Structure 1
């Protein structure tokens, strides 16, 4: 579309008529041909319109009379006037009234030696008005662009042949270019470089021009030499043809598999982190897959069949696409998995499904496995929560006893519990953390927290956010630091907390002070 617009603009710019006051004036309103290839012929129709004030007669037209462009007219010119249709070699003796159109037709050819580019082709006009002869030279924009035939292999069958086997090799050629391939000659393996030996004639002459977009099928009986090593071999196909009388040639390669066998297997498995523990997220599992066979596996896909205790970290993170895996080649498939918080330690064998296509496009699947070792780690849960006083009220003071249990499979050392203060909760903590110590699997420990309740606290249940921190079992060499978030519910009841009773000791001291003051005053009076 852009190219056509460019040619149109060029024509508009170049085809400026010779303006003569009070006479006929010819404008080009349309052309039928804007592009040719070197050596190509075509019909150029030029529509002229008389937009002057007089009628014209004895019109004569000549295309590129000085041979200044690579576009040459072939044969005579034909001029058509709607009122009187007649064709003469160079001119027409008639009249073209104001507003009337004539069509000048040329059969043209681009020189075979023409270079690509946009050319201005001169059109010389002469005509008479009232006995006076006028003339003008207009210019037609024409683009020269190469339009070669381009022959490609679109299909080959069969895709694989065994050593020593005979087969009928069919090759489909397609002309994907813009020009026709005329007098096409094709020869298979003229220098005998391939282990596929033709049985019978090796040269074919196509009896018709192969047009753009057309396909032809070649059939060659062949035999693969015995003892040929399994691999992909390329058999040359030599082509020669003409396009617009210009000789062309090309050599294509026919790929044929001397068939082998695909053998996919797991070469190695690595993880990041190297030690997997329950509760780990986004564990990177890298599986090195190797093709130890002789054939190529295409469109290779791998998928982990994750069972209980394992889940994909995100959508499709349990699958991987590897593409092509050639013989003796290895590639890494990467997966990301989450491990359940309560998964028991041990060795887990996860099924790995491998799917691939062979050279013929047939799909195959094999099942392997990936072994993952889950190491033990501490894991905690809140086993009980106790308040003193039993009922929590606005304005009150409370002690909170939180009992946690190690439900994991490893001893936890240096266990401490801390409450995370949240702005929306009406508590002011005097004691926000407590050290518990060592908890073996199944053991429980208690942390003590202390806080005041705001006087305007709304009666409702609050979930306290607790953070448990511990280290692993040092006797097992586990120096990892583990943190875990827990929740503890506390309820603020309606009504204000009761005022604390006065202590008897301050009251007694006040009484004694009062007696002493009275005794001193009495002595002064005496």
Structure 2
């Protein structure tokens, strides 16, 4: 028995050895195939990426632009700006607008037409400063609107960019801020000490000088005395003013300008007031912002499919974020399409950088118009720890265009010309290039001069009128006809159609009435003549 048991054990071991050798051979074969597949996929990715284009992008070239400086209240200056197309495709219908900015009077608009890829355009305008303008930096916005092209060469309408330019307004103040000292890096909710070193650059002494911070409208508060008495400050003299400040918990990160108001008297006891801007910067460890830049189509309606939702992810904090991933979790009436992945890997998003990504969704046919929040889940790694946030972004679902056809019908005579007047009312959302078409059925006796009439763009509750002229054919039957009518309009380059109908009551023509009358007269005359002949014949027989 022992010998038999040992033989069986040996047979089992041999079988296992042969199985392991076969598995090693299979692993080598499959390994080569997997490696070959990876290489093919990499080559395909390179080929596909090579087919994309550089999208249109306009920018303001700050290095080449120039704005007059050291202007005082009541002065005028020249602003020369250079607009550059840094994209790979043309920017068309370019429009630049610079509105008034508080104490800076500009209000200028330019229509630049087309700016080719790599091309620059220079615009120049005169601006003026209000006589009561505050001293310090003033910011004006430069707004651009244009049509461009995406990386696939598809046109993108109404692209909007905004840039900021600064105008420095100086005054006759005898004081300058030589140094600003903070006791810490500022974050939301911090309490900090602000020390200001003020020097008298005038030609004489400033008497009874006091300093206070104007914090009206700012998410910053003073702890302790709001005004500090500095006394007399002689020529070239230096005095320090110190304040204890508190930042609100919900203060947004960024730069803030705090007005410092100085009151003093000259040697003639004439009071003077001057305001100097004090700049501070509030930062945060991490701050991520998500916002929808655009959708395709621009207006989203119930029943839309494969709606593209472009989301811009901004790192507003001071630290780089690694392994950034954004996931879109559609909620009703938004639904997941079958052919798209709803998770995007952004890799590393450096401080102050941004990235734009696209998600896709179907809209349920039962969706109601309104603003509906959608959930976006953000994961990232910072300071060797994993973090995540959930952001809810509102997306508007618009009412779908719809039309009401108003017509009392028409009585049209055989063989004559008639006009069918139709009123079209838009009972839904706006639709452009509304056109009414007559779709004559086979066998309907109508000969139209023009089967369509252009109405124009109709907004919600707006009406338009279409007049369709036609002639009723001579062999038409006298009866009521139902004429098919189609209303067509365009929305986001899509043509929408709406089926309606109108009644046309065909009645005898004027000529056919006269002929019927003449025939009737002839018949009556023949009857009278027959009666006359009959009576005369009988009279002849009697005679």
TM range (shorter): 0.3 to 0.5
Which structure has more relative contact order (CA 8 Å, sep 6+)? It is 1
